[in-house]
Amino acid sequence: MTKKNAYEALFIIDMSEGEAAVKSLVEKFTALISEHAEITGVNEWGKRRLAYPINDKNEGYYVLVNFSSPTDFPSELERIFGITEGIMRYMVTRTEA
């Protein structure tokens, strides 16, 4: 049996493409995570003001996903976040279960 750790992924979506694009990215990443991990919670914080402008934008759509997965999945998830257009910032951290 593969050892699983608890993680949380926080990502900020660029809202300039519209609400439908934001919704599709949230669905894309929750589906991706659920394929490779067990989701324990999805918390959409919604539209928030950024602490500092990113790409000349002052607001983003925040989503926090808690999940448990094998140790190799978070690095793959970060790679996919990094190459996905519309993701402004992301962070995957290990948490205590």
Find the mean pLDDT for residues 6-18.
95
Number of H helices, E strands in the chain: 2, 4
Range of the domain at 47: 4-95
The pLDDT of residue 3: 81
Residue with tokens 């599709």: 24
What is the maximal distance between C-alpha atoms in the chain? 46
Q: What CATH number is given to the structural domain containing 79?
A: 3.30.70.60
**Residue 15's CB: how many other CB atoms inside 10 A?**
16
The pLDDT of residue 25: 96
Is 70 exceeded by the pLDDT of residue 97? no
Q: pLDDT of 28-77, one tens digit each?
A: 999 999 999 999 999 999 999 999 999 999 999 999 999 999 999 999 99
- Tally the domains of the chain: 1
